[in-house]
Structure 1
Amino acid sequence: MSQIAYREAQDNRLKYLLSYVSDHSPYYQRVFREHGVDIEAVFKIADLSSLPFTTKDDLAAANDDFLCVPKSRIADYVTTSGTLSDPVAFYLTDSDIERLATNEAESFKCAGGSERDIYQLMTTIDRRFMAGLAYWMGARKMGAGMIRVGPGAPYLQWESIQRFSPTVIIAIPSFIPRLIDYALANNIDFQSSSIQSIICIGEPIRNPDFTYNELGKRITSQWNVKLFSTYASTEMGAAFTECGEGKGGHLNPDLLILEVVDEQGKAMEEGGLGEVVVTTLGVEGMPLLRYKTGDLCHVYYSPCACGRTSPRLGPVVGRKQQMIKFKGTTIFPPAIFDVLDMVREVELYQVVVSKNEFGNDEITVLLAMHLHTPAFREMLHSLFKSRLRVTPVFEFITAEELSLRIFRQEKRKPEKLIYI
């Protein structure tokens, strides 16, 4: 689809969305009234700037007011991960679940998938996790197979790979080095396995220039597989997925209107870094208008070499709420992770951000006790100094305690970062 064609299609979908929320959303009815919004004056995406943003705080404060259908029509109840605040509820109708399936089927195809593939899911499909359901539904819609193993359990992962010969793994990328280490320790010939590619969720594997970051390098230096980045959230109910070119996650223009804006709300130009803002299309239960995700990405509007013409997003540089001001330097957590991922000896870590008595940010990195040697501490100190110009505090605890802190039973994904 050409850029002109998809933009015209989005203009029509936007008109329908504005009419829909005006008729059915208590939250947007109130916002339109308070801000004097005339939806008849919004003809196309270029007019979106006349509408106010929706924020995470709005969603948390008036959660159920975003619901556009009676609760008797809700088919699935999910929540956000609650990384920085209490989880927010999202209600999905049958139509919304079908939309999830469509999104994921198209995302799999973007990453080179087909009905001939077998996917092994290394994330949870329960615990109110929207993405796990989406992956399974997407594979079904595409006609592919799915092995639902869930997170962790390296033995079961390899047993499933050896028994069922999946071609694609869906996983949080920081789990893959653990999977490789288990294979090496147990004489499993992982290089000759059926796995051809890994769909990476929840963490970046690339730098802003699309080269692999340290985690991406760590995986690909050991295992001859293709890596595909994805970026998604519960709120958008859709994903930006890389194609084989590896130059950013592609927008599905049937499901989202994308804006990337600066601090003043002005649209960023080609390659600019700004906050990702989405307007959801085709959502029946809880549609969102101009939702500020808090995620900072570079945006690209030029056509991709793969032939797709919709905008692309680079890897998440950081979240606005997670910006750390430490010893005169501004740091986002992924930069800290990248340094730690350079060190092969570091299998697990947790970054703890706190405030000192003067209200300034402090960073503590928790590591396994067996690494606690003067030489190792000095090496880490030098590495952080050279890469980030500042050095956090290092604390060492037992591997068991560290694992329990990171892989908490009540959480859906590893807690590599916590705020206290």
Structure 2
Amino acid sequence: MTSSNSGLSFKHRLRRAHPRRRALQRTLRALDRADAERIRDFQEQRLRRLVRVAAQRSPFYRSYFRESGVDPASIRTLADLPKLPLISRREVAGHADRFRTVPRRLMWPAMSSGTSGVPIECYRTTTSSVLELTALERQWSWFGVPADSRRVVLRGNGFASGNDGVDLPVRAVPGARQLLVSSFYLTPDRIGAIAEEIRSFAPHAIEGWPSSIALLAALLRDRGEKIPLRAVITSSEMQSPGQQQLMREVFGAPIVDHYGQTERVTMAGSCEAGGYHVFPDYGITELIPVEGSADRFEIVGTALHNTGFPLLRYRTGDEVQAAPDEPCPCGRAFPRLGVIAGRIDDILTAADGRPLPLGSTVLDDLSGLRESQIAQLRPGVFELRVVPGEGFSLEQVSDHIRRNVDSLFGPGQELTVRVLDALPRPAGGKLKTCVVEHGSGDVIPPGGSPISPVQPW
């Protein structure tokens, strides 16, 4: 087993050794059982500070307050939030510098195509990242997972592409107490060695995409094996009842799910009593009615922790059903959420037959695009569909997607890049960033300009 990923290890060590970590832990522990009034007071205090910083240092908000005539000092309570405009993903995409309040070099970048296919770049301060980890660790503690837990992580991890001499898709992250397992190389011929590495690591929990964890569970089940854990920590995807049952059966542990976004404006997660709660000390969450629906709401978030990149009343584009009326048996005053309509990607298949969970990750760091989508025309044959945005370069995008596919999917895949005026939407209107389309010429929408295929490798 090879140890590397020094950059990831450094970030984990920095977050755990950060001078504000213990203070943030104390704050979140105190709010865990606070009443609604105390939680609201905390949110409003943080909101006033955030608005003050945004009005002084963010070009976007300086311009807004100047042109709207709204006095930043008038934003004092949650009831004052409607004075601020709703911000969409398209307003942020390609315009990160308009929202920054500190230099880029002092923050960590985050990029994603999200569920909308619109690439976005955001930034967060180190303190913001520390608070996020602390909020997650508090949730995990509800299920008996310690703050210094050892976790197996399945989230892509394309280090075992077959091009670097690594045969086993498992890698330790020094100082992070994590064992990375590549989601793209979970195959029957490797599962025995992977299971041995996991057992030797003695993890408290497994964390990652539900599709990847379920695939690992299926491979273990087929061998008649189980690996008992304290928790199965999931995020980023919807999960089926069948996946949930399989994960519980193989790992003998509860599923601990959380919801968030690249923009980090709001966070929510499951509790030990089966409820699903907003984390109100992480951000302010508003639910805006979806037009034409009586029981669906769009999640709008205002992050309370990221003064370096303030996003106030940000429209996530994610929808949620109405929350249950009754209080949660866990006893917390954290607001409840209904079922979230999250990301649902098709599972792609590589040329050698390997499943590729959450294949849309190959799009996450592409730039110069308004929209993007990866489509599988047949196993191992993929088409990148893009709608050009500001700064678009076909050569750069083609080179970048080829590197991503090579790293994450492995050698032997065929890839074509196609430029379109708009990406095709299904009847429901929700764009899937990763689709499987088996067929012939009619799978390609009209109006596109075909580009010479990127050569297979």
Match of 2:435 in 1: 417
Residue-by-residue CA offset, 1:292-341 (whole Å, 9 max, x unaligned): 0000013537532112111122332257xxxxxxxxxxxxx58x99xxxx
| Distance 1:97-1:302 versus aligned 2 partners, 3 A rule | same
Q: 2:217·2:246 contact (CA, 8 Å) conserved in 1?
A: no
Report how far residue 126 of structure 1 moved.
8.9
Distance 2:52 2:335 in 1: 26
Report how far residue 42 of structure 1 moved.
2.2
1:97 equivalent to 2:129? Answer yes
Report how far residue 119 of structure 1 moved.
1.2
One-letter amino acid of the counterpart of residue 54, structure 1: I
The partner residue of 1:195 within 229, 249, 272 is 229
Report how far residue 67 of structure 1 moved.
0.5
Residue-by-residue CA offset, 1:158-206 (whole Å, 9 max, x unaligned): 2321211212110211123321332245x3x532x2323211111123x
Match of 1:305 in 2: 329
Structure 1 gaps, min length 5: 128-135, 206-211, 320-332, 338-346, 353-364, 367-394
Q: 1:77·1:89 contact (CA, 8 Å) conserved in 2?
A: yes
Q: Superposed, which structure 2 residues align to 1:56-95 within 5 Å?
A: 56-74=89-107, 76-95=108-127
The partner residue of 2:52 within 14, 19, 33 is 19
Match of 1:232 in 2: 260
Match of 2:287 in 1: 260
One-letter amino acid of the counterpart of residue 190, structure 1: E
Report how far residue 238 of structure 1 moved.
5.6
The partner residue of 1:181 within 199, 202, 218 is 218
The partner residue of 2:181 within 125, 134, 149 is 149
Q: 1:27·1:62 contact (CA, 8 Å) conserved in 2?
A: no
Distance 2:206 2:358 in 1: 25
Q: 2:237·2:342 contact (CA, 8 Å) conserved in 1?
A: no
Distance 2:41 2:216 in 1: 46
| Distance 1:202-1:409 versus aligned 2 partners, 3 A rule | farther
Report how far residue 114 of structure 1 moved.
1.4
Match of 1:30 in 2: 63
Aligned residue pairs total: 326
TM-score, L = length of structure 1: 0.66
Q: 1:100·1:238 contact (CA, 8 Å) conserved in 2?
A: no
Stretch of structure 1 that moved more, 79-88 or 31-40: 79-88
| Distance 1:5-1:126 versus aligned 2 partners, 3 A rule | farther
1:107 equivalent to 2:107? Answer no
1:2 equivalent to 2:25? Answer no
1:293 equivalent to 2:327? Answer no
Q: 1:112·1:244 contact (CA, 8 Å) conserved in 2?
A: no
Distance 1:275 1:3 in 2: 23
Match of 2:278 in 1: 251
One-letter amino acid of the counterpart of residue 109, structure 2: Y
Report how far residue 61 of structure 1 moved.
4.5
Stretch of structure 1 that moved more, 113-122 or 215-224: 215-224
By relative contact order (CA 8 Å, sep 6+), the higher-ranking structure is 2
Identity among equivalent positions (%) equals: 25
Report how far residue 98 of structure 1 moved.
2.1
Distance 1:314 1:409 in 2: 39
| Distance 1:246-1:40 versus aligned 2 partners, 3 A rule | same
Report how far residue 259 of structure 1 moved.
0.4
Report how far residue 418 of structure 1 moved.
7.0
| Distance 1:173-1:349 versus aligned 2 partners, 3 A rule | closer
Report how far residue 108 of structure 1 moved.
2.3
3-state secondary structure, aligned to 1:233? coil
| Distance 1:177-1:93 versus aligned 2 partners, 3 A rule | closer
Q: Superposed, which structure 2 residues align to 1:133-172 within 5 Å?
A: 145-154=177-186, 155=190, 157-172=194-209
Residue-by-residue CA offset, 1:242-287 (whole Å, 9 max, x unaligned): 1122221x22222200101114699x9xxx5200000010212211
Distance 2:358 2:182 in 1: 22
| Distance 1:99-1:349 versus aligned 2 partners, 3 A rule | closer
Match of 2:440 in 1: none
Q: 1:204·1:229 contact (CA, 8 Å) conserved in 2?
A: no
Report how far residue 18 of structure 1 moved.
0.9
Q: 2:228·2:250 contact (CA, 8 Å) conserved in 1?
A: no
The partner residue of 1:316 within 312, 325, 340 is 340
3-state secondary structure, aligned to 2:258? strand
Measured on the aligned residues, the alpha-carbon RMSD in Å equals 4.0
One-letter amino acid of the counterpart of residue 164, structure 1: F
| Distance 1:223-1:416 versus aligned 2 partners, 3 A rule | farther
Structure 2 gaps, min length 5: 1-33, 160-172, 348-354, 361-374, 385-400, 410-431, 438-443, 445-457
Distance 2:306 2:405 in 1: 32
Report how far residue 125 of structure 1 moved.
6.8
3-state secondary structure, aligned to 1:278? strand
Q: 1:104·1:238 contact (CA, 8 Å) conserved in 2?
A: no
Q: 1:112·1:243 contact (CA, 8 Å) conserved in 2?
A: no
| Distance 1:98-1:125 versus aligned 2 partners, 3 A rule | farther
